[in-house]
């Protein structure tokens, strides 16, 4: 399946479960003082979770442009060095606003991954929140019970507040979460070390792909957790990681999401990408990643500048330039040459790149 088909399957699967397909909100946030950029699919739905506004639909599904390079969720230094962190990424999400809860969310995620996408059940692991006595939050026994019907006990892992209690920032809607991880190692490696021991241990082939968050609280400014009047579902699946798993690759950069930019960089630099750990290979990955963050944020109205959100984009731009100048020996501006391919790739789902190509360049 191509990345476009994989994205489409997610949207239509949940449409078939009564969800309304909605567009991504802009990656640049102008009306939320707690965030500079959209860092999760749930940002645009914050007011529905908090009960500040009624949701127009009880169930929605989307792919959201996200950026994680500032604030609570910040992956910048990993990007390009490893094969699965990104600045800009697409988060596929299904949402329930006071409608279905844990049972449906978990069962549908299992159905989609195993029956529609055909991922081998034996390679999947689920994490469950173990509870937190200090904050008086109970363990997720309901989620545990649902997973026990789907997975053997040695494919379920308990996690602490860091891994299994999701918060968008210092304040706001939050709740316990249950992640799904995939073990992409070879059969020999899997036989030698059980995947259960490698979940959430930064193993490059045992990776989280989907987070099912059960929004039950609002984190207040003074740090206390206030239970919400209604409970909600907020899920996030990184498209780039999912595509890597389904296309059978060991790196996100070997998928059709990034291969176009890597090939264009090869043409410009006259160097070959060998998918290794050398500085030139890191540079290929940095460029393939950073061009997306730069292009999508500019398209959504955030120009690079010397303060605030603009400074975040300038830092990404500088990091990209530093990498191609130093490690690919390209001494002329080149990022603009990656844009036409990117705009073509995303023309169906994010036409804003094509529409503003000249301006972004
Ligand atoms: N809101 C769920 C996540 O970003 O993982």
List ligand 1's pocket residues with C-beta within 6 A.
40, 42, 166, 211, 213, 234, 236
Mention every residue, 6+ apart, whose C-beta is less than 8 A from residue 319: 76, 286, 290
- For residue 111, the model assigns a pLDDT of 98
Atom of ligand 1 nearest to the CA of 234: 1
Residue nearest atom 2 in ligand 1 by C-alpha distance: 236
117 has a pLDDT exceeding 90: yes
Tens-digit pLDDT profile for residues 8-41: 999 999 999 999 999 999 999 877 777 889 989 9
Going by C-alpha positions, the residue among 328, 223, 209 that lies closest to residue 265 is 328
Torsion sign across C-alpha atoms 168, 176, 10, 152: positive
> How many A from CA of 74 to the centre of ligand 1?
13
Enter the tokens of residue 91: 């988060």
What letter does residue 346 receive in the DSSP assignment? T
What b/e string do you get for 8-31 counting C-beta neighbours within 10 Å, with b at 16 or more? ebbbebbeeeebeebebbbbbbee
Residue nearest atom 3 in ligand 1 by C-alpha distance: 236
Enter the tokens of residue 15: 């449409």
> How many A from CA of 93 to the centre of ligand 1?
9
- For residue 31, the model assigns a pLDDT of 75
Radius of gyration in angstroms for the set of CA atoms belonging to the chain, rounded to a whole number = 20
- For residue 78, the model assigns a pLDDT of 82
44 has a pLDDT exceeding 80: yes
Tens-digit pLDDT profile for residues 68-90: 886 555 668 789 998 888 999 99
Going by C-alpha positions, the residue among 192, 13, 196, 177 that lies closest to residue 122 is 196
- For residue 70, the model assigns a pLDDT of 60
Tens-digit pLDDT profile for residues 214-247: 999 999 999 999 999 999 999 999 999 999 999 9
Residue nearest atom 4 in ligand 1 by C-alpha distance: 40
């Amino acid at each position: 399946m191509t990345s476009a088909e994989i994205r489409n399957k997610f949207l239509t699967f949940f449409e078939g479960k009564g969800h309304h397909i909605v567009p991504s909100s802009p990656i640049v946030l102008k009306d939320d003082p707690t965030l500079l950029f959209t860092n999760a699919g749930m940002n645009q739905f914050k007011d529905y979770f908090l009960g500040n506004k009624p949701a127009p639909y009880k169930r929605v599904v989307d792919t959201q442009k996200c950026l994680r390079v500032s604030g609570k969720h910040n992956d910048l230094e990993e990007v390009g060095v490893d094969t699965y962190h990104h600045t800009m990424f697409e988060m596929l999400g299904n949402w329930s606003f006071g409608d279905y809860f844990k049972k449906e969310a978990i069962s549908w995620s299992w159905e989609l991954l195993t029956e529609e996408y055909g991922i081998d059940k034996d390679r999947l692991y689920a994490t469950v929140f173990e509870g937190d006595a200090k904050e008086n939050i109970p363990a997720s026994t309901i989620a545990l019970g649902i997973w026990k019907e789907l997975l053997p006990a040695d494919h379920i892992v308990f996690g602490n507040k860091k891994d299994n209690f999701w918060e968008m920032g210092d304040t706001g809607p939050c709740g316990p979460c249950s992640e799904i991880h995939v073990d992409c190692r070879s059969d020999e490696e899997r036989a030698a070390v059980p995947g259960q021991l490698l979940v959430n241990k930064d193993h490059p082939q045992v990776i989280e792909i989907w987070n099912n968050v059960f929004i039950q609280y609002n984190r207040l400014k003074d740090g206390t957790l206030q239970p919400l009047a209604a409970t909600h579902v907020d899920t996030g699946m990184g498209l780039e990681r999912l595509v890597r798993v389904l296309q059978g690759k060991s790196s996100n950069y070997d998928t059709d999401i990034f291969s176009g930019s890597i090939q264009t960089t090869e043409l410009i630099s006259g160097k070959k990408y060998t998918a290794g750990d050398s500085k030139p290979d890191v540079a290929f990955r940095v460029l393939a990643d950073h061009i997306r963050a730069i292009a999508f944020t500019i398209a959504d109205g955030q120009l690079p500048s010397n303060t605030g959100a603009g400074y975040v984009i300038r830092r990404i731009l500088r990091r990209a330039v530093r990498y191609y100048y130093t490690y690919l020996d390209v001494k002329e501006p080149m990022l603009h040459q990656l844009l036409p391919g990117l705009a073509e790739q995303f023309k169906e789902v994010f036409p804003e790149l094509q529409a503003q190509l000249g301006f972004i360049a």
